[in-house]
Chains A and B, each alone.
Chain A
Amino acid sequence: MGITLHLERLTQFSLVLRESRMAVYVANMSHTGMVRAVNEDYYGYFHLANYDILVIADGMGGHRGGKIASKIAVDAVREYFETHLKDGRPIESMIDEAFGVANRMIRDFASANPGLYGMGATAICLVVENNKAFYRHLGDCRLYLIRDEKIKRLTKDHTLVQKLLDDGIITLAESFFHPERNIVSKALGGRFYLEFDEPIGFLEMVNGDRLLMCSDGLFDSISDEEILELAKHGDIQNCVQELINEANRRGGNDNITVQILLYAGE
């Protein structure tokens, strides 16, 4: 089994070594940004059995709701995996089921507290087992792959603007300044039950791959190419710090959360 190092809650850094000599490194950080009063993002990194599980949730829905929703989301996913990993079901099913439970918990919490009506959270969950990575996102939390000095976006935002773009109703240039670019079309807690529009994401990792997951506070102000420049080399904890600093230098209009997983292979 591996060893896991945990630093303080805000800035975690974890190193996991396996018997097979494979190594997974994870760095993460969340920042309120320069404008918002509260951080409605929440994240988690858990190492359970042979799995590394990374989650980010970005809460929505007013003053308290968003913060609560994102915490419920991350806690529910964690709890689901802790309880059900032993059942031996395929990881891809478990991710969807964990999100299904999180969805229900947020919804139930909101219906028990009328002031929290409309609360929800966009989210992304990544589960890594050996060189296999499974991921599922809802809303506009993203996952990027950095490989061979190139960056590739693995998730497609569930947003109004992305749909308009896909359907050819607006151009890419128009999408950047669309007045409704903050509308998400899918989120935890948003519906009575959770439905998924695409199959779960899967990736076979190779040595040196970096998987970067983040909330929209990062990419709203930093382009994909700039993310690549800041994240492709060096100590991943520094990269995370640098990305957040850069987003804040550009106004820090939203909460920013980043996790990077470095797959060091054999």
Chain B
Amino acid sequence: MKCPKCNTENSADSKFCLSCGEPLTRKTIAIGVMPPQQTEEKIVIGKNYEVVKKLGEGGMGVVFHAIHNLSGQEVAIKMLPPELSKDDGIRSRFINEARLLAKLDHPNIVTLYNFLEEDQKFYLIMQFVRGKTLEEYIKERGKLSIDEVVNIFSQVCDALGYAHQMGVVHRDIKPANIMITPDMRVKVMDFGIAKLTGGTRLTATGIAVGTVWYMSPEQIRGAELDARSDLYSLGVTLFEALTGKVPFDSESDYEVRKCHVEVNPPSPLIINNSLPKAAETILLKVLSKNPDDRYQSAQEFKKAIESLRSSPYIITPESQSQIGAQDLAQKSKGRSWIKISSVVAGIVIIGVVIYYFLFYQRIMTSNVSPLRAEQVYIPAGEFIMGSEKGEEDEKPVRKVLLSAFYIDKYEVTNLQYQRCVEARVCGAPQNFLVNKSPSAPVVGVSYNDAKTYCEWVKKRLPTEAEWEKAASQKGVNTDYPWGNDRPDCKRANFVECDLKIKEVGSFLSGASGYGVMDMAGNVAEWVADWYDKNAYLTMNTTNPKGPLTGTYRVIRGGSFKSSSLDLRKSNRMYASPSERLMTVGFRCARSE
């Protein structure tokens, strides 16, 4: 039967879609008048477990909420990817591991009740836990208070300590695997599942996003793992809970891996300097590259975490600015007065100085002013947008009328952008191993960063139409900014050159008809519009601003890693607005 979600054809007796795991329900023939909900046949796993709903899916399989039809017991059932059951080696390893996991019995561990094999698929029958994951918790709250952290993490340590004694290494400790019940009890999920499935990610490149954030150095090397690997991963989780950020983050999973192996983690105090000094000491120890330098057992780590509760807070002007009103509200919500009293003194002082400090900061900010950027005037008038020779999303070719505007002659440089970072307005660019020269274009900035910068310099991002007009020859629709000749390394920096970012203005003969530089190649550029491949069909032909909403923002111009085809002035690329890419920078524009 056909899957309602992805249209995959499945065999008639399939209970779940082979492609996406969606439950496949079959209608039974209704005799007489029956309520509609009874006409659907229930999905039953292992004779007795009736599926209530799908809870989620990931690289390790699909999870369902189900109820035992005799005892009424609620369970979570994890269906492992069907590919796994076909390999005999994996199958026997699975059974061995699952037997071990079924022995784990601890109040802070989600119990594995049973596992079964049906229709050539493996199912794990697990305890059903109501609550939130730590991941959701951190997402909602930004970061957690010391008290919450101590409460949650000491319970996780209890779970890990027990499992490690039983000879089980979790291998995938991360906030998403730590459940917190409404009464603040912790249940660690998915013990050893990573080993069960061989640690293989079955999806294509770049899909397993996020998991590398918590990997230990020895895990990245592919070495044997012991308890201390779990402690490292828990250390990353602790770092995130205390600061709201993981110690190593990058657009590239590989950079994150490399950092885990080679780079010392930043001090958590830099991100959240309201933390006690002891938090830094604990985190730097547990995040040691060498397992011998870490805490050697979960019990030892637990003791260290518990000592945080009694650690003095450091009060600095900067830390005061970071404890916002929201934090304070969160801290007092649901906490006992005794706990609150330890921070009350600090809060009062903060309350007094907070306005002063904000004011002070504003003065500081105004001292760092933007650097001037040369601009080019693009007079009002019509131009031809799109290309008949291009992709479908560049059609139909339209005459578009634009009001006059100014656009930066060059992309925003590292030096210019740095000023905005120093002014504490812009976020730091993602640190890629690229040209850091002050006059090289800044990259590793998201759409949101680019927008923030342009607003800081009292400009805005150019619209897609403005960008394309500025990249054109006056009045003639050419393939490239300089005309129709195909790119060479004198006109533009692209994949056929030496694969390095050049300083802005290095390609004089690549100028557009208006004298705007570097529109093709070197680094691509964020523009203001949302991406929609059908945008040109419906767009306004006077000062178009693109679709009102979307998922991706448009990127123009191609980069030093693009083929000549992507350098065409009408070529449209796109990415998620929060992505910081190694090949994408921006320039600003303003209306006349």
Contact = CB atoms under 8 A, between A and B. Distances in A.
Interface of A: 35, 37, 60-65, 89, 92-93, 96-97, 99-101, 104, 108, 113-116, 118-120, 139, 160, 163-164, 167, 169-170, 174, 177-187, 189-200
A176 B341 CA distance: 58
Nearest to A111: B533
Given A192-B574, A193-B573, A60 B205 contact: yes
A163 B261 CA distance: 13
Contact of A196 (B86, B199, B203, B561): B561
A99 B563 CA distance: 9
Contacts of A169: 220-221, 258, 261-262
B246 interface: no
B100 interface: no
Contacts of A170: 221-222
Contact of A187 (B204, B555, B565): B204
A163 B200 CA distance: 18
A2 to B, nearest CB: 29
B8 A89 contact: no
Interface string B296-323: 0000000000000000000000000000
A61 B204 contact: yes
Contacts of A191: 206
5 contacts: A62-B19, A63-B18, A96-B564, A115-B17, A178-B222
Contact of A118 (B207, B223, B533, B575): B207
Contacts of A180: 199-201, 222
Nearest to B6: A115
Contacts, number: 138
B499 A93 contact: no
Contact of A193 (B201, B206, B566): B566
A35 B203 contact: no
Interface of B: 3, 5-8, 17-20, 86-87, 198-207, 220-223, 254, 257-258, 261-262, 391, 486, 495-496, 499, 533, 552, 555, 559, 561-566, 573-575, 583
**B interface SS class:** loop
Nearest to B391: A104
B486 A89 contact: yes
A-B complex: 5 closest residue pairs judged by Cβ atoms: A115-B6, A96-B563, A195-B561, A178-B222, A60-B204
A63 B9 CA distance: 11
Contacts of B6: 113-116
Given A99-B563, A194-B562, 17 more contacts: A35-B87, A97-B565, A115-B3, A115-B8, A115-B17, A120-B204, A164-B220, A164-B221, A180-B201, A182-B201, A185-B205, A185-B254, A190-B206, A192-B555, A195-B562, A196-B562, A200-B496
Contact of B563 (A100, A108, A167, A198): A100
B205 A93 contact: no
Query: Which of B206, B262, B486, B562 has its CB near the most chain A CB atoms (within 10 A)?
Result: B206
A96 B495 contact: yes
B54 to A, nearest CB: 14
A179 B222 contact: yes
Contact of B562 (A104, A187, A193): A193
B480 to A, nearest CB: 13
Contacts of B17: 115
A163 B256 CA distance: 13
A63 B8 contact: yes
Query: Which of B18, B198, B562 has its CB near the most chain A CB atoms (within 10 A)?
Result: B562
Nearest to A182: B200
Given A115-B20, A199-B496, A97 B563 contact: yes
A174 B201 CA distance: 19
A40 to B, nearest CB: 11
B499 A198 contact: yes
A196 B583 CA distance: 11
A192 B575 contact: yes
Nearest to A189: B204
A97 B5 contact: no
A206 B180 CA distance: 67
B563 A196 contact: yes
A99 B5 CA distance: 30
Nearest to A138: B205
Contact of A163 (B202, B207, B222, B254): B254
A194 B563 contact: yes
A198 B560 CA distance: 11
Nearest to B222: A178
A42 B590 CA distance: 50
A76 to B, nearest CB: 12
Query: Which of B7, B204, B206, B583 has its CB near the most chain A CB atoms (within 10 A)?
Result: B204
